[in-house]
Amino acid sequence: MAGFYRTCALTFLVCAAQTVLAQSSDGTVTVPEDIKREIAGMADDVQKLISYLTAGAGKHQVYDRLATFTDTFGNRLAGSLTMQHAVEYMIGTMKHDGLDNVHGEPAMVPNWIRGLESATLLEPRVQNLAMLGLGLSVGTPRNGLTADVLVVNSFDELHNRSSEAKGKIVVFNQDWVSYGVSVQYRGNGASEAAKVGAIAALVRSVTPFSINSPHTGAMTYQDGIEKIPTACITVEDAQMLARMQARGTRISIRLHMDAALDGEVQSMNTVAEVKGTTHPDEIVLVSGHLDSWDVGQGAMDDGGGAFISWQALSAVRALGLRPKRTMRAVLWTGEEFGGFGSDRYYNDHKNDSNNMDIVMESDSGVFQATGLRFTGSKEAKAIVTEIMKYMAPFNASTVFDGADGTDIDWWFKNGVPGGSLDNENEKYFYFHHSNGDTMTVLDPDEMDVCAALWAVASYCIANLDSMLPR
């Protein structure tokens, strides 16, 4: 048996050596020693940032600032008067915080108005259904509409039963798979239902968990297809309607929606900076979106991402640190309608792409941080990975492939490196786009670590002698 174990051990060592050799020959990049020394030379500054944000004067500051903001303004639909006041507040507050070049940059956003709305089950019994009209949906006729219901579980089932859909309200009772899969019913359900003659569509909320809570969000209409009103209903009610239909019960619903799209109105992206000392025209951009849906408080989506971006700059300013290139925070408008604010910003600034060092966005929660998602060259990723080692004490140092974010995608396509916050957000879609998105779902200590990660990554990149390699 000893020989057997010795043979296994030798086999393991040979396989391990082959793995190391494969890793060393597959294009893996080693950070040059001079850049490693440069990053190591920022240790004192990094420690000051981390201590300030997690144990010092900045502890819980980002949570408290966001709580004050959300308690003051509540939710902030792009184009609304509330959103305008929120932007004005942020400009004044960031100026008072001592940041540089604080200003708003205009962007046109849809002027979508929800109005009064309701959905009432009439047959087989009377029940008010919890619902939220989907963003950019048209409304019903003034007196509403009443129709029988067809429940389907998928687009395929709808098409197979298309002869049953004419003149009816189609209910999509799709099972949660993932946000990327299930959100297609929210986005495309109305047009798919209209193609087979339905007069309205109701979509089971895009969430894996519900306490009778509807979850709204944006939808789109396909060109050349009749626009019919569409709303989300709760998981519980969608399943109930499916059970009723399976028993052969006739289902009738009255739907009323005053929703209307009245052109576009001007909103603003909010911008603030810590000016660079050596390369002030080169930019490290951190961001989150300030607008939200008109339910809950927009605390998680995306007040948290916007405020850790402010906090990163605020901590650098408070500690008197001056990076070599400019750190810029942008709080976007119109993200929930499809990225209207960031589209305008990109078109206004795309000629500066060569001066954009990295663009970063946090829009997937500010829960327990795990690391940074990154898009860019292998050389750039290796440098970012070296920087992220500073977050190892918080188990938040991993650099994952694939940054994402509606507001920064255009920059990726133009070759600019990108980053997004990775965090333990398994319950994110429990509260997403619902009345449950309040400060209660956020934790002050977790937000501090997210802010520290955001500050460390952006400051160190901004303070390197050279921009990240493309």
* Single pTM value for the model: 0.93
The DSSP letter of residue 434 is S
First CA to last CA distance, the chain: 54
Strands (E), 190-304: 200-204, 230-233, 252-257, 260-274, 279-289
Active-site residue flag, 226: no
Query: Can you give the pLDDT at residue 27?
Result: 73
Q: In what order do the strands lie in the sheet with 230-233?
A: 127-129, 117-123, 252-257, 145-152, 169-172, 200-204, 230-233, 131-133
Nearest to 469 by CA among 396, 374, 403: 374
Query: Can you give the pLDDT at residue 312?
Result: 98
Q: Dihedrals φ, ψ of 388, to 5°?
A: -70, -10
Contact present, 205 and 215 (Cβ < 8 Å): yes
Contact present, 48 and 319 (Cβ < 8 Å): yes
- pLDDT (tens, 9 = 90+) of the chain, 470 residues, equals 333 223 333 232 223 322 222 234 457 899 999 999 999 999 999 999 999 999 999 999 999 999 999 999 999 999 999 999 999 999 999 999 999 999 999 999 999 999 999 999 999 999 999 999 999 999 999 999 999 999 999 999 999 999 999 999 999 999 999 999 999 999 999 999 999 999 999 999 999 999 999 999 999 999 999 999 999 999 999 999 999 999 999 999 999 999 999 999 999 999 999 999 999 999 999 999 999 999 999 999 999 999 999 999 999 999 999 999 999 999 999 999 999 999 999 999 999 999 999 999 999 999 999 999 999 999 999 999 999 999 999 999 999 999 999 999 999 999 999 999 999 999 999 999 999 999 999 999 999 999 999 999 999 999 999 999 99
Full set of structural domains in the chain with CATH: 33-112+264-462 (3.40.630.10), 115-258 (3.50.30.30)
Helical axes 304-318 vs 43-54, angle rounded to 10°? 120
**Catalytic, out of 273, 282, 335, 386:** 335
Compute, in degrees rounded to 10, the torsion defined by CA atoms 445, 449, 452, 457.
Answer: -170
Residues paired with 381 in a beta bridge: none
Q: What is the C-alpha to C-alpha distance for residues 295 and 433, in angstroms, rounded to an integer?
A: 7
Residues paired with 230 in a beta bridge: 201
Q: What is the C-alpha to C-alpha distance for residues 405 and 335, in angstroms, rounded to an integer?
A: 10
Type of residue numbered 129? L
Type of residue numbered 139? G
Contact present, 294 and 77 (Cβ < 8 Å): yes
Q: What is the C-alpha to C-alpha distance for residues 102 and 272, in angstroms, rounded to an integer?
A: 4
Q: What is the C-alpha to C-alpha distance for residues 384 and 374, in angstroms, rounded to an integer?
A: 8
Contact present, 213 and 435 (Cβ < 8 Å): yes
Query: Can you give the pLDDT at residue 26?
Result: 58
Nearest to 48 by CA among 455, 465, 461: 455
How would you class 281 by CB atoms within 10 Å of its CB: exposed for 0-12, middle for 13-18, buried for 19 or more?
exposed
Strands (E), 142-194: 145-152, 169-172
Query: Can you give the pLDDT at residue 15?
Result: 32
Q: Percentages helix, strand, coil for the chain, rounded to the nearest 5? A: 40, 25, 35
Q: What is the C-alpha to C-alpha distance for residues 70 and 332, in angstroms, rounded to an integer?
A: 16
- Residue 154: HSE in the Cβ half-sphere, 13 Å Cα cutoff: 7
